[in-house]
């Protein structure tokens, strides 16, 4: 378990982020939250396929994955009483099919070729635990339309992005080069980046963490 570094911090109680995502860590840091990270792996692909076979809706699958990540992380840490643990996950849905992170460059090429010129949904789930029990969750939905891309544009984009193309469903990151891929984006910007930060901040504020008092 590692501590996040940064400048200004709100004096918060124990908070753990169950994610290795640098973007999610950066979002919390920029919002001023002090937290530690703990990552536990789950078999996302198998879980997603099982859920799809059972006809579970994409948004519910995102919540299930986030919850399973949170429970796995909670089992790894000896947290003090009252510790809050935040886990999150994203599912991309197009034509009723769920897409996760690509396994390799070929997978990224295939995802971008399928998404180009068409709209899709991005569903971001956040789940909060306290003392190992789930106490809150939120699901953010965004609609994105990728502009038409030819194979040369897809290859150039992936050449520039490198390994980071494998970090997100859809093989894009709108906070960087991915912005060049889209013609329309609707929904919560923070949710698209990986954390519905407005709702998370409201939850933490409801538990006593505020800018005015800086206390819990």
Q: Mind giving me the DSSP string for 152-166?
A: HHHHHHHHHHGGGGG
What are 90's strand-pairing partners? 124
Q: Where are the alpha helices (DSSP H) in 121-196?
A: 151-161, 189-193
159 is catalytic: no
Reading the chain (216 residues) residue by residue, the pLDDT tens digits are: 555 544 444 444 578 999 989 999 999 999 988 889 998 889 999 999 999 999 999 999 999 999 999 999 988 887 677 889 999 999 999 999 999 999 999 999 999 999 999 999 999 999 999 988 999 999 999 999 999 999 999 999 999 999 999 999 999 989 889 999 999 999 999 999 999 999 999 998 888 666 544 444
- Domains of the chain, with CATH numbers? 2-206 (3.90.950.10)
Catalytic residue among 43, 60, 89, 131: 89
Joined tokens for residue 142: 């965004």
**Strands of the chain, DSSP E:** 2-3, 15-17, 36-37, 84-94, 97-99, 119-130, 133-146, 182-186
């Amino acid at each position: 378990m590692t501590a996040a570094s940064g400048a200004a911090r709100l004096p918060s109680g124990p908070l753990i982020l169950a994610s290795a995502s640098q973007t999610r860590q950066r979002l919390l840091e920029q919002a001023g939250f002090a937290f530690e990270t703990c990552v536990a792996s789950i078999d996302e692909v198998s879980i997603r396929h099982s859920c799809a076979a059972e006809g579970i809706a994409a948004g519910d699958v995102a919540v299930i994955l986030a919850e399973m990540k949170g429970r796995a992380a909670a089992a790894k840490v000896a947290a003090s009483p009252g510790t809050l643990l935040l886990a999150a996950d994203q599912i991309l849905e197009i034509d009723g099919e769920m897409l996760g992170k690509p396994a390799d460059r070929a997978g990224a090429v295939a995802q971008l070729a399928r998404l180009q010129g068409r709209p899709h949904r991005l569903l971001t789930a956040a789940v909060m635990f306290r003392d190992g029990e789930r106490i809150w969750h939120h699901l953010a939905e965004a609609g994105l339309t990728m502009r038409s891309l030819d194979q040369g544009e897809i290859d150039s984009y992936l050449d520039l992005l490198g390994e980071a193309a494998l970090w997100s469903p859809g093989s894009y990151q709108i906070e960087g080069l991915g912005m060049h891929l889209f013609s329309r984006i609707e929904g919560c910007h923070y949710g698209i980046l990986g954390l519905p930060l407005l709702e998370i901040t409201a939850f933490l504020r409801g538990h006593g963490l505020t800018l005015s008092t800086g206390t819990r």
